[in-house]
Amino acid sequence: MPPLAMVLGASSAAGTHLLREPPPGWVLEAAGRTDPRTWGLPLRRFHPLDLTDEPAVRGFLSRTSAEAWINLAVPCLAPTGPGPRKTPPVPLPEEGPARVLRAELPGWLAEEAERQDRYLIQLSTDEVFDGEAGPYGEEDRPSPPSERLSAGGEALGIGEARVYASRGRRAIVRVCRPYGARHPSRPDWVSAWSEALGHGAPLAIPPPEQITPTWVPDLTRSLGAILERQARRIYHVASPEVVSLEGFLGQLCREAGIVWRREGVADLGRGRRGGLKVREIHKLDVRPIGFREGLRRFVGDRGPQPLSGGTPSLASSRS
């Protein structure tokens, strides 16, 4: 009988792609609010579960026979796509579903995984860093609270720290601005830019930000390799090439053969030096592709898409 892995947050961009390309030799089930089978995605079984309800989560985990748990429930703070983001970052409420999923749920999972001797993979992002000195290495710990750290990043750092402190078997996987997942119901931030630019919409130059964007197929391949090794490590899955957000979107235009009608500049302070250094995942024979190759595959796969609704705004979403 193949081993069973339970995916929490399977309706996310990363989750839906993982269901399309499950780790070799593993069977996947999912738990959460939205059943991915409604989109025609393959899944043996879905368990309705409120991931913000601690007693319900702990009770469910005590009953599941899954050998490994993969938590991809890292909510976006705002819509993604063209336009400036606000400065300072939009506050995250002290309590509320998004904060619970980022700060509290990872701790519940880590405690239950340690108690039941299950392997836990927790998704995180470079949003846990304040952007003063990126790209960041696997050995770097989340930044302390400051005016440079978003409230969402602070919450995600709290959750990551709780997983890291666990004595159980666990891995943390950080990504940076993932794209290329082909979500069944909502476009990712690169798709939103591609759609808007393809329609010739005049868009402002984005805020100064350094990134190492993650090609989602690399993330799902990495999750499979991590499941096989089950080491207690932090892994980064991101482009080995560092690029500015403006440079990334300019490369998207070149690959897609579209013109960026630049209109104004987003005045957002001194910018953010984010991004991730990638080393540990190489030891599992996984080598994430650079952003140029990722955009070539992105455009080759789908190219510019027609807009499906209003133009979203570029936000500090990295999940």
Q: What is the pLDDT of residue 78?
A: 42
Q: What is the pLDDT of residue 221?
A: 97
Q: Please answer whether residues 67 and 5 qualify as being in contact, where contact means their C-beta atoms are separated by less than 8 angstroms.
A: yes
Q: List, as one string, the DSSP characters of the chain.
A: ---EEEEESTTSHHHHHHHHSPPTT-EEEEEESS-GGGGT---S-EEE--TT-HHHHHHHHHH---SEEEE-----SS--SSSPPPSSPPPPPSSSHHHIIIIIHHHHHHHHHHHHT-EEEEEEEGGGS-SSSPSBPTTPPPPPS-TTS-HHHHHHHHHHHHHHT-SSSEEEEEESS-B----SSS--HHHHHHHHHHTT--EEEPP-EEE---BHHHHHHHHHHHHHH--S-EEE-S-SS-EEHHHHHHHHHHHHT----EEEE---TT-EE--B---GGGGGT--PPPHHHHHHHHHHHT-S----SSPP---S---
Amino acid identity at 209? E
Could you give the C-alpha distances from 115 to 22, 103, 106, 187, in angstroms and in order?
26, 20, 14, 38
The per-residue pLDDT for 25 is 94
Query: Domain segments of the chain: what residues?
Result: 4-301
- Do residues 16 and 216 lie in contact, with contact meaning Cβ atoms separated by under 8 Å? no
Residue 202: what pLDDT?
A: 87
pLDDT of 92 reads: 54
**The CATH fold of domain 4-301:** Rossmann fold (3.40.50)
Give every residue of the chain whose pLDDT is below 50, as ranges: 77-80, 83-90, 303-319
